[in-house]
Amino acid sequence: MTGKGASRARRGRPRQAEVARLAGVSQTTVSLVLGGNKQGITLHEDTRRRVLAAARELGYVPDPAARRLAAARNNLLGVFSFTATFPTAVEHSYYPFLVGVEQEAAARGYDLVLFTGSSSGSQAAAPGALERVRLADGCLFLGRHLPADGLRRLVEHGYPAVHVGRHEELAGLAWVGVDYVAASFEVVRHLEGLGHRRVVLVREDDEAPASTDRERGFRSGLAGPGAGDAVVRTADPASDITPGWLRARLAEGVTAFVAEETDTGAAWRALLAAVDGAGLSAPDDLSLALLGSPPADLAARPEPAGFDIPRAALGAAAIRMLTALLAGETADEPLVACAFRPGTTAGPPPAAP
Amino acid sequence: MTGKGASRARRGRPRQAEVARLAGVSQTTVSLVLGGNKQGITLHEDTRRRVLAAARELGYVPDPAARRLAAARNNLLGVFSFTATFPTAVEHSYYPFLVGVEQEAAARGYDLVLFTGSSSGSQAAAPGALERVRLADGCLFLGRHLPADGLRRLVEHGYPAVHVGRHEELAGLAWVGVDYVAASFEVVRHLEGLGHRRVVLVREDDEAPASTDRERGFRSGLAGPGAGDAVVRTADPASDITPGWLRARLAEGVTAFVAEETDTGAAWRALLAAVDGAGLSAPDDLSLALLGSPPADLAARPEPAGFDIPRAALGAAAIRMLTALLAGETADEPLVACAFRPGTTAGPPPAAP
DNA sequence: TTGTATGCGTTATCAG
DNA sequence: CTGATAACGCATACAA
């Protein structure tokens, strides 16, 4: 005998068998009633009610592991983050996203499971950590540096996975992302509409899709050709974007500057400091725009022209994509649009002297 | 026949049995080797290597659902909020809490399930919503107005539940809370140490434990008796705490004012406005303290004397309490201490004229 | 030291 | 319409 009641850790958790006993039916019947009777078997309305009552009485809730093991569904959706499930540094961006995820999941009758990638803050996720998500019917994946091999295994085995953020490398991996191209394009058009003819983009020196997409939108928004020097890549905005640099660009005829939003907000910060250091101010002497939202510490003043990333909408879109996958449907549009923000830092270029 | 290979969606995933066949051993041995051999059974180093090699060869990864089913526990901890799982209004306080919850849970090998009490803002939770938490091994409950009857059912059934916030009414319900009494006491002592002899507490007019605890600590920190009029309860601080009111108190010899932190920060806001409206300033003309943290919109200037609520620590403590319950251990200290914050709004009382 | 037999809770099949 | 019964993949007393 294998410890009938001895080593039972799942104390108190009522099972279908107990519901069956209380209702005076078989466990199969309970499964049938509670499972929505997919087989279309006709059941006595009376039996149905007795089972339902017994289940409520006992507080029965199906065991997700058993449900899943039996090749059925859980109504559980996972969220897996490669850093920590709750990054502390970026809460202003992460929290709204989760709000969207949560609401959309709830609206569709799913509960959310948060899988923690790296428990002790160490970057590398534990070997088997990724596989835990299989407990859920499907899972969202967040983070820049994903363990491609682990994820590949999952998608190759047909596990429903959606990456948050554009991701073309891993073929077959579904994703949702922000339409940085269109949003950045719109910002540039706005500046040109104001009369600006030469605009410079300051971006950090990495190859994240979020960065390259912004640059692409920026470039396609520029009117003329010869925009080769319109983009400045710098790994250290604070020391490269100086008042002197700013003056030099102005002397060349540049009238507007666009910064990319990054985790740290370094580019925008540097731009503001340079303008300040040069004794200039926007939008009188030049125009400024930010491709995203400003860092929290300089959120209010001045409100940058640019766009807001609809993080909650992104979360909702991710869930929609995932549930579409689960339903075997073809996924809809993976890109969510940004809201243009006029702000107070952009205006017509100063009249030429 | 029960669909041996027909409707099998789980293609390709190697199981222990296949690893066993390849290694020329039994499935049990595979489980033993791969499971870390908790039983301390001695295995041939040779066998071990063969199994490991076979597992790697096949790319074997354990199925989390099966693992949890066999272990009779699913390693899931729930978080249930009676407002919304992700309250948008109080994210500054909710997020850090979740950070603590997440880290502590991860450190103990648990994943988190987020339950939505009232998803679409409607106050009343759906009838069965509470019962769903049984899906997790245990659950945290947040929120002021909990459906006592539903919760009672759960705890009476022996379901491991921990309420976040002091809660004595429902006997048998474990809880963790912030030690507002000690923290408030410390603030008052600090003020008295600075020389203040008459101090007034402004609090809102409700009976939340968080409020009454603060008042208790405040009162016990006061030196003399006759502190009856030292506490002002108001349902509408904005219209009660006026410059005139302030002047009257000062005339009575009061030199320091303490506000309670609330969701809206109304008391602190009103106090600041009154001081401003009276043309006074802290800490020169009077001293101010806040029993908690200021609302986000006036976070920085001035930094109030008072204390910071260690929300992450609270979350961690809640998880520790819950896992202690799960282990059948006796729970440890339910109160987490606050960090005193000197701030810039309290100083010695002005010299008597 | 390794293999056999069982059970975990659910779903699904098939015979009463 | 209902009740046995067999998987699902893994872990574990117990036998060999």
Question: Are the beta carbons of B12 and A157 separated by less than 8 Å?
Answer: yes
CA closest to B153 among chain A residues: A59
Contacts with A120 from chain B: Cβ below 8 Å = 106-107
Confidence band, pLDDT 50/70/90 cuts, at residue B228: low
Distance from CA of A257 to the nearest CA of B (A): 29
pLDDT, residue B222, reads 86
Whether the CB-CB separation of A273 and A331 falls below 8 Å is answered with: no
Confidence band, pLDDT 50/70/90 cuts, at residue A7: very low
Last residue of a domain, one of A308, A331, A348: A308
pLDDT, residue A139, reads 96
Closest residue (CA to C1') to nucleotide D12 in the complex: A2
The reply to whether B235 Cβ lies less than 7 angstroms from strand D is no
Would you give the end-to-end CA distance of chain B in angstroms? 98
Question: Are the beta carbons of B74 and A63 separated by less than 8 Å?
Answer: yes
Residues spanned by the domain of B295: 180-308
Contacts with A157 from chain B: Cβ below 8 Å = 11-13
The two structure tokens encoding residue A204: 């950090």
Selected for mutation to probe chain B from A52, A93, A98, A132 (highest B CB count within 10 Å) is: A132
Contacts with A66 from chain B: Cβ below 8 Å = 65, 69
- What's at B281, amino acid-wise? S
Residues A285, A184 share a domain: yes
pLDDT, residue A1, reads 32
Residue A350 included in any domain: no
The strand pairing partners of A204, in sequence order, are A234
Residues B45, B33 share a domain: yes
Q: Does A126 touch chain B (CB under 8 A)?
A: no
Residues A291, A203 share a domain: yes
The SS3 of residue A271 is helix
Residues A295, A220 share a domain: yes
Report the Cα B138 to chain-centroid distance in Å. Answer: 15
Last residue of a domain, one of B70, B86, B117: B70
Mean pLDDT, residues A110-131: 73
The reply to whether B67 Cβ lies less than 7 angstroms from strand C is no
Domain count, chain B: 3
Question: Are the beta carbons of A106 and B95 separated by less than 8 Å?
Answer: no
Strand-pair category, A138-142 with A161-164 = parallel
The answer, yes or no, to whether residue B7 has pLDDT greater than 60, is no
**Chain D bases closer than 7 A to any CB of the protein:** 1-14
- What's at B308, amino acid-wise? D
pLDDT tens-place string over residues A315-338: 999 999 999 999 888 777 899 999
Where is mean pLDDT largest: A237-246, B34-43, B83-92, B151-160? Answer: A237-246
Would you give the end-to-end CA distance of chain A in angstroms? 96
Distance from CA of A288 to the nearest CA of B (A): 25
The two structure tokens encoding residue B223: 């030196």
Q: Does B99 touch chain A (CB under 8 A)?
A: yes
Contacts with B120 from chain A: Cβ below 8 Å = 103, 107
Contacts with A96 from chain B: Cβ below 8 Å = 88
Q: Does A99 touch chain B (CB under 8 A)?
A: yes
CA closest to A78 among chain B residues: B113
Distance from CA of B165 to the nearest CA of A (A): 22
Q: How far apart are CA A175 and CA A166, in angstroms?
A: 6
Residue A345 included in any domain: no
Residue A267 included in any domain: yes
Phi-psi map region of B306: left, alpha, beta (phi>0 left; psi -120 to 50 alpha) = left
Residue B348 included in any domain: no
Listed by number, the residues of chain A in 56-85 with a beta carbon closer than 8 Å to a beta carbon of chain B are: 56, 59-66, 68-69, 71, 76, 84-85
DSSP result, B264-292: S-HHHHHHHHHHHHTT--TTTT-EEEEES
Q: How far apart are CA B322 and CA B324, in angstroms?
A: 5
Residue B117 included in any domain: yes
Whether the CB-CB separation of A232 and A267 falls below 8 Å is answered with: no
Confidence band, pLDDT 50/70/90 cuts, at residue B223: confident
Residues B209, B172 share a domain: no
Q: Which nucleotide is nearest to A69 (CA to C1')?
A: D8
Residues A254, A232 share a domain: yes
Distance from CA of A198 to the nearest CA of B (A): 37
Residue B174 included in any domain: yes
Question: What is the average pLDDT value for chain B, to the nearest integer?
Answer: 86
pLDDT tens-place string over residues B99-108: 999 999 999 9
Q: Does B17 touch chain A (CB under 8 A)?
A: no
The reply to whether A171 Cβ lies less than 7 angstroms from strand C is no
Last residue of a domain, one of B42, B70, B98: B70
Distance from CA of A124 to the nearest CA of B (A): 14
pLDDT tens-place string over residues B322-339: 999 998 887 778 999 999
Q: Who contacts A316 (Cβ-Cβ below 8 Å, separation ≥6)?
A: A100, A101, A103, A104
The two counts, helices (H) then strands (E), for chain A are 12, 12
Q: How far apart are CA A140 and CA A164, in angstroms?
A: 7
CA closest to B130 among chain A residues: A59
Residues B189, B296 share a domain: yes
Return the closest-CA partner of residue B164 out of B97, B118, B262.
B97
Residue A45 is part of a domain; what is its CATH number?
A: 1.10.260.40
Higher-pLDDT residue of B148 and B349 is B349
Residues B227, B137 share a domain: no
Mean pLDDT, residues A195-222: 92
Distance set, CA B36 to CA A169, A247, B5, B15, B47 (Å): 35, 65, 31, 17, 14
Residue B97 included in any domain: yes
Residue A332 is part of a domain; what is its CATH number?
A: 3.40.50.2300
Residues A54, A99 share a domain: no
Please give residues of chain B from 52 to 111 whose alpha-adjacent beta carbon (CB) lies under 7 Å from any atom of strand D. 60, 62-63, 66-67, 69-71
- Residue for token pair 């009188």: A284
Q: Who contacts B32 (Cβ-Cβ below 8 Å, separation ≥6)?
A: B39, B41, B43
Residues B210, B300 share a domain: yes
Residue A185 included in any domain: yes
Residues A287, A222 share a domain: yes
Residues A304, A284 share a domain: yes
pLDDT tens-place string over residues B171-205: 889 999 999 999 999 999 999 999 999 999 999 88
